[in-house]
Amino acid sequence: MEIVVSDSMVQNTNQVEGRAVPEKTLGNIHVDNPRMTARNVDVFYGDKHAIDNISLDIGASQVISFIGPSGCGKSTFLRCLNRMNDTIDICQVEGEIKIDQQNIYDPAIDVVSLRARVGMVFQKPNPFPKSIFDNIAYGPRIHGLAASKVELDQIVESSLQRAGLWEEVKDRLDQPGTGLSGGQQQRLCIARAIAVSPEVILMDEPCSALDPIATAKVEELIHELREQYTIVIVTHSMQQAARVSDRTAYFHLGKLVEVGETKQIFTNPQHELTQDYITGRFG
């Protein structure tokens, strides 16, 4: 796992007419009905200060998108939300992140049950080299979610249906998941995440490896899923953020510059950096 905060990027963005990154996030970090709350989060990779004092609420049954130039910390912050950073030895997280009033970095919280509640979909589709059925059934099986074979079948079917993949794969559930097309693989991964019945789904640039048609399908899927799940999506595409999300957060150099309603961010950004970014001056 590699998260690069490249120096060239830092220089490049610093040259943006010398505009300072604000000390305090602009816009309203709070929501009425938060599912997760992050307060004063700092992340270090060894000596590198990757996330600098970020506070943000993530609203229940909402889609929030994280945007910003490469290396701005948006993926790192996303990975803090289900402690995926634990797998990196030199990574150190400070501050407080709560899900339903429970601190997820509390030693009493088991990372396994946390990740069952906060699922994740990755940048590159990563189906297991197993059958489609086994891919979906993997989570329910390890967590003991299905009481019976029948229930497991139901979970697999409903997950695939909700991911809009059922019609395409129902006749070949025993075929390897790696044999699907890229877009199908990514929807399979989303279905696999849904099968655990999480409360929050984190998506790390889920469409960056997909063609436009597959992207459209995944975006449609995100649209449907928001009724039931809280979704956090990191994206490089501002159009995508505008299309799928309710709120948008703009990250820059490890800081959260601005957050607000998506419409407001894209029509009336408060900070010059945000404006420059969404108008394509850099990024």
Partner 1 sequence: MSFTNLMLAVLVIGALYFIAGQRVALALRSGNAGKLHSLPHYHGLWAAITSALPALIVLLTIVIGKDLLFQFWARDYFPQDILNGDAVDRAIALAKVSNVVNGIDFGQVEPWVQSAGDAWIRWEANAVVVANSLVLAVSLVGGLLGYRRINPTFRSRNNVERILTWMLIGSSLVAILTTVGIVLSVLFESIRFFKLIPPQDFLFGLEWNPQFEGAERAGSGGGTATYGMVPMFVGTFLISAIALTVAVPIGLFSAIYLAEYATPRIRGVVKPLLEILAGVPTVVYGFFAALTVAPFVKSVGESMGLEVASESALAAGLVMGVMIIPFISSLSDDVINAVPQSLRDAAYGLGSTRSEAVRQVVLPAALPGIVAAVILAVSRAVGETMIVVMAAGLAANLSFNPLDAVTTVTSQIVTILVGDQEFESAKTLSAFALALMLIVTTLALNYFALQIVKKYREQYD
Partner 2 sequence: MTDRTYQGLDPQQAAERVAASINLRKRKETRFVWLGKTAVAIALGFLVLLFAGILTKGIPGLFQYYVTLDLQLDAQQLDPSGQMTVESLAGGDFDGVIRASLYEALGNPEGRKAKREARRLISSGSSQRLMTYVLDNPEQLGSTVSIQFAVDDDVDTFLRGLISRETPEADRRISDQLINYIDALNAQGRISYEISDYLFFGSASRDAEMAGIRGALVGSIFTLLVCIVIAFPLGVATAVYLEEMAPKNRLTEIIEININNLAAVPSVVFGIMGLAIFIVAFGMPRSIPLVGGIVLALMTLPTIIISSRAAIRAVPPSIRDAALGVGASKMQTIMHHVLPLAMPGMLTGTIIGMAQALGETAPLLMIGMVAFIVDVPAGVTDPGTVLPVQIFMWADFAERMFVQKTSAAIIVLLAFLISMNAAAILLRKKLERRW
Contact between 207 and partner 1 per CB under 8 A: no
Contact between 130 and partner 1 per CB under 8 A: yes
Contact between 174 and partner 2 per CB under 8 A: no
Contact between 4 and partner 1 per CB under 8 A: no
Q: Which stretch binds partner 1 (CB under 8 A): 14-22, 119-127, 218-226, 228-236?
A: 119-127
**Minimum distance from residue 179 beta carbon to partner 1 (Å):** 11
Show the binding pattern over residues 223-242: x = contacts partner 2 (CB under 8 A), - = does not.
-x------------------
Identify which of residues 55 and 158 has a Cβ nearer to partner 2 in the complex.
158
Contact between 196 and partner 1 per CB under 8 A: yes
Contact between 197 and partner 1 per CB under 8 A: no
Q: Give me the amino acid identity at 15.
A: Q
Chain positions 176 to 195 lying near partner 1, rule: CB under 8 A, are 178, 189, 192-193
Whole-angstrom CA distances from 27 to 23, 55, 248, 256 are: 13, 12, 10, 10
Chain positions 71 to 100 lying near partner 1, rule: CB under 8 A, are 82, 84, 87, 89
Show the binding pattern over residues 116-145: x = contacts partner 2 (CB under 8 A), - = does not.
xx------------------------xxxx
Q: Which stretch binds partner 2 (CB under 8 A): 26-34, 46-54, 65-73, 153-161?
A: 153-161
Contact between 194 and partner 2 per CB under 8 A: yes
Closest CA to 255 of 11, 130, 17, 68: 68
Residues 6+ apart with CB under 8 A from 77: 38, 41, 43, 51, 54, 66, 251, 256
Q: Which does 166 bind (CB under 5 to 8 A by kind): partner 1, partner 2, none?
A: partner 2
Show the binding pattern over residues 143-182: x = contacts partner 1 (CB under 8 A), - = does not.
x----------------------------------x----
**Minimum distance from residue 218 beta carbon to partner 2 (Å):** 14
Q: In the 3-class helix/strand/coil scheme, how is the chain assigned residue by residue?
A: CCCCCCHHHHHHHHCCCCCCCCCCCECCCCCCCEEEEEEEEEEEECCEEEEEEEEEEEECCCEEEEECCCCCCHHHHHHHCCCHHHHCCCEEEEEEEEECCEECCCCCCCHHHHHHHEEEECCCCCCCCCEHHHHHHHHHHHHCCCCCHHHHHHHHHHHHHHCCCHHHHHHHCCCEHHHCCHHHHHHHHHHHHHCCCCCEEEEECCCCCCCHHHHHHHHHHHHHHCCCCEEEEECCCHHHHHHHCCEEEEEECCEEEEEEEHHHHHHCCCCHHHHHHHCCCCC
Q: Which does 155 bind (CB under 5 to 8 A by kind): partner 1, partner 2, none?
A: partner 2
Binder of partner 1 out of 138, 153, 264, 275 (CB under 8 A):
138
Task: Tell me which residues touch partner 2 (CB under 8 A).
Answer: 110, 112-113, 116-117, 142-145, 154-155, 157-159, 161-162, 164, 166-167, 194-199, 224
